Amino acid sequence: MKGLPVKYKVFFISVYIITLVTFIYSVLIGNISFNISSYRNVIFFVVLTALTETFTVHYNEMSFSTTFAITIATYILFGAFETTVVFIIGFLARVLKLEDGSYNHLFNSPLYGTLFNCCILVLPIFIADYFYVFFQGHYGVDNISTNVPQIIIFSFVYFLLNTFIISILMSFHTQKTILYCYFENIKLCGVNYITMIPFGVILVIVFSHYKYIGVALTFFPIVLARYVFSMYINTKTQYIQTVEALMNAIEARDEYTQGHSRRVAEISMEIAKS
């Protein structure tokens, strides 16, 4: 953490401690037990998680992936501990291609950042699991039809908490309020999370009947949906960049009108906010 501002250090350390305390508390109350039902299942879902994390869509400093569907499926099938194991190993195994053409992976990422990312992934699982158990949710596929409300509660608690933690960090970076970042991120990511809930349930049902091949075949439309979303984001970004380039080119012809359109846009935004 050398060189980081103090508020970042305090925030990171606070998240580390809260995650550790929450994990210990979950173990003490019996919500988490150190049991692996099948190492083959864990490896399979780790591979899926690593793939979905590797092919994440980035937009406005936020990321969108189909990993949440894997998280829901793993949680319903195996519980919080195995979900945590799958999530952490799968996340650590990802390889991200950056805009400059380089790659980001476990071995070139700072330890404090990797640890923080793991915490913001598993801390919501521990807390959402508490609500799931409190409302008498059950693991496995047998009673999945009666567990729909509990699954929705788990999903929303996870989403809201994960988004809140990220929003705090974004508020440091953007100098905007936490609530502003929080509601903006909810609007930006909410649809992606909500869409992944039924996909996760479908994966549970398919896995219980057709195992690995069935999940692999079912996962194809999920990946396709992610690809379509990626194409949409890229098209939208290119459109905005084209409009900005044309605007700048036109205004650059006259030093008196240069920057006029951008100033109008900024003033319009401020009027709309007030």
Is 77 within the bounds of a domain? yes
What is the token pair recorded at 126? 């521990």
- The secondary structure of 129-159 as a DSSP string is HHHHHHTT---SSTTTTTTHHHHHHHHHHHH
Residue 45 lies in a domain: yes
Number of domains in the chain: 1
For the chain, the straight-line distance linking the first and the last C-alpha, in angstroms and rounded, comes to: 39
Q: Nearest-CA neighbor of 188 among 53, 71, 63?
A: 63
pLDDT in tens, the chain (274 residues): 777 888 989 999 999 999 999 999 999 998 888 888 889 999 999 998 888 887 765 555 445 567 888 999 999 999 999 999 999 999 999 887 666 667 777 788 888 889 999 999 999 999 999 999 999 999 988 878 889 999 999 999 999 999 999 999 999 988 889 999 999 889 888 887 888 899 899 999 999 888 899 888 887 766 666 666 666 666 766 666 676 666 666 666 666 566 666 666 677 777 766 6
Structural domain contains residue 241: no
* Global pTM value: 0.78
Q: What integer pLDDT is reported at residue 161 of this predicted model?
A: 95
Residue with tokens 């550790």: 20
Tell me if 252 is assigned to some domain. Answer: no
Q: What Cα–Cα distance (Å) separates residue 126 from each residue in 83, 134, 181, 189?
A: 10, 12, 24, 21
Q: Confirm whether 158 is domain-assigned.
A: yes
Amino acid symbol at 223:
V
- Return the pLDDT at 219: 75
Distance CA 226, CA 223 (A): 5
Does the residue 237 lie in any domain?
Answer: no
Q: What is the DSSP letter of 101?
A: S
Using a 10 angstrom Cβ sphere, with 0-12 exposed, 13-18 middle and 19 or more buried, the burial of residue 39 is exposed
Tell me the residue type at 24. I
Task: Examine residue 226 and state whether it is found in any structural domain, yes or no.
Answer: no
Look at the block and give the residue holding tokens 């793939």.
51
State both tokens at 107.
Answer: 């071995």
Residue found by looking up tokens 């929450």 in the block: 22
For residue 103, what are the β-bridge partners?
A: 97
> Which CATH number fits the domain that encloses residue 74?
1.10.1760.20
User: Which pLDDT score, from 0 to 100, does residue 232 have?
Assistant: 64
**Can you give the residue range of the structural domain that contains 69?**
6-219
Q: Which of 263, 233, 264, 265 is nearest to 65 (CA)?
A: 233
Residue 264 lies in a domain: no
